[in-house]
Structure 1
Amino acid sequence: MTPSRQAVPPFVHLAAHPLRWRLLNELSGSDYRVRELVTLVGEPQNLVSYHLRLLRNGGLVTTTRSSFDGRDSYYHLDLDRCAEVLVGAGAALHPALRLRTTPPAFDPPVAPAVLFVCTGNSARSAIAEALLHHHAGGRVEVLSAGSSPKPSMHPNTVRVLREEFGIDISDQSPRHLDTLADRRFDAVITLCDKAREVCPEFGEDPRWIHWSIPDPAASGDIDADSYPIFRATATEIDTRIRYLLPVLAVGGPVRRSH
């Protein structure tokens, strides 16, 4: 009896190529532009772009247009999708190999110091600060700041954290990056393409991470019409925070790319 042939799971097929695996590895730590990935993997741009396109077609990688330079795009690894297809790949080989995606407990030996940066510090970075503090349960020192901070928190930032996560930041005000010039951080995470370009150095060899997330306050609306955008932004940041926790527990620097 001839054994039936089973198709190779899509994730295995995509990830098995050495260059695609290197691209996945780089994007697992930060969002990058094509030219930065070319430098990181040391391969020609046309080849890198080709394999990025395959990863996009496979649903593992997404892109966002840079808010700093509209000619650029940032590539982002969808870790939720990766977890999903990894589970499927394990189960396809044998039921006993069904992978579990429950994240490990966050228990670093020393509380890491983390800084979130965007332009206004009234939406994205403030949401990230609140959510990391919430998920880490006090086992992290976390601050946020802006390169050009707004006078006050956006009302929908306060609302989305209160209604969706039960977090109250109504007494919090935006902070300028300059006020943290003498602080040391283990990780500096920029959530704004513009702020990434002007963010100063902090401490000695921190972990540099970029999350290319559009500004939910870009429309200038402060009423209920813009609230769904804030909710979607908070959901994305919450997902990224969940995957950040194991990285912070391990520690170690990541080189800064511009």
Structure 2
Amino acid sequence: MTIAPPDFLRLAGHRLRWELLTLLADGDRPVRELTALAGQPQNLVSYHLAQLRSGGLVRSRRSSADGRDTFYALDLHRCGELLTGTGAALHAGLRLTPPAPPVPPQGTRVLFLCTGNSARSQLAEAMARAGGLDAFSAGSHPKPLHPNTSRIMRERGLDPSGHEPKSLDVFRAEPFDLVVTLCDKVREVCPEFEGGPPPVHWSIPDPAIDGSDAAFAACAEELAVRTGFLLARLAA
């Protein structure tokens, strides 16, 4: 009897697809960047991205800064599910167990940036602080905190007090271990922060544009997943 290997092995086992997954593990990227980093023709990169997307390992989202660009993001949660199933498919004793809650090094400083600093970056800051990071947030064009931002924080057991919009200029001279841009527009104008690594990008729609409870709930859920994986990365 022939038994087909699990989908994760089929998808991730290809050398170029594995390289693309590894590049996307660092943050969301457009095809042109993936093409340059992989050193492969764009049509080949696009083909393998389509394979990864159809397999549920990668998501795509049109850029809100330049509609000609599409950002690709690694679905880490889905990858974790497929990896668990892959081990169990070979032997019951290889089923992965959930890791212990990550504990990042004390004093790790992370800055979250978006355009308005009214929703996405504020939520990310609150979640990262709850996870033990020295987290901050700012915007390129700060706007008043959206009422749904405070509501979502309270619903998730986070403290909204002290969350005020700030300009990214406030932090230009400060050192950070990591800078995360949450907005395609602010990614284009993000300044260099001395001594730190290049910014990581998470392409997340602004829930304040829609303003609905559903938009904020979806944003908060995506940020919770991404922040959880960020904590694990920094803890490692």
Report the TM-score range of the alignment, normalised by the length of the smaller protein. Answer: over 0.9
Is 1:83–1:101's contact at 8 Å kept on the other side of the alignment? no
TM-score (structure 2 length as normaliser): 0.96
Matching residue of 1:36: 33
Q: Counterparts of 1:182 and 1:67 in 2: how far apart (Å)? A: 28
Distance 1:50 1:111 in 2: 42
Which residue of structure 2 lines up, in the alignment, with residue 106 of structure 1? Answer: 103
In the alignment, which residue of structure 2 is the partner of 1:153?
145
CA-CA distance at 1:248 after TM superposition: 1.6
Read off the aligned partner of 1:65 and give its amino acid letter.
R
Q: Does residue 219 of structure 2 align to residue 228 of structure 1?
A: no
CA–CA distance in 2 between the matches of 1:36 and 1:59?
21
TM-score, scaled relative to structure 1: 0.88
Question: What SS does structure 1 have at the residue aligned with 2:216?
Answer: helix
Alignment equivalent of 2:182, drawn from 183, 191, 195:
191
Given that 1:196 and 1:210 are in contact with CA atoms closer than 8 Å, whether structure 2 keeps it comes out as yes
Secondary structure of 2:225's aligned partner: helix
1:1-258 to structure 2, matched below 5 A, reads 4-108=1-105, 110-136=106-132, 140-150=133-143, 152-163=144-155, 165-219=156-210, 221=211, 226-250=212-236
What's the CA shift for 1:104? 4.9
Q: Matched residue of 1:218: which SS?
A: helix
> What secondary structure sits across from 1:166 in the alignment?
coil
Percent identity of equivalent pairs: 54
CA distance in 2, matches of 1:33, 1:235: 23
Following TM superposition, by how much is the alpha carbon of 1:197 offset from its aligned partner in structure 2, in angstroms?
0.4
Letter in 1 for 2:149: T
Note the aligned Cα RMSD (angstroms).
1.2
SS of 1:217's partner is helix
Partner of 1:87, secondary structure, is helix
The structure with the largest alpha-carbon Rg is 1
* Runs of at least 5 residues in structure 2 that lack an aligned partner in the other structure: none
Structure 1 unaligned regions, length at least 5: 251-258
* Alignment length (residue pairs): 236
Cα deviation, residue 207, structure 1 = 4.6
The letter of the residue matching 1:116 is F
1:7 Cα deviation (Å)? Answer: 1.1
1:192-245, CA deviations, whole angstroms, 9 ceiling, x for partnerless residues? 0000000111121325210000000113x4xxxx11110110010000001001
Q: Deviations over 1:20-45 (max 9, x none)?
A: 00000011110000000011111110
- The 1:123/1:33 distance shift into structure 2, 3 A limit, reads same
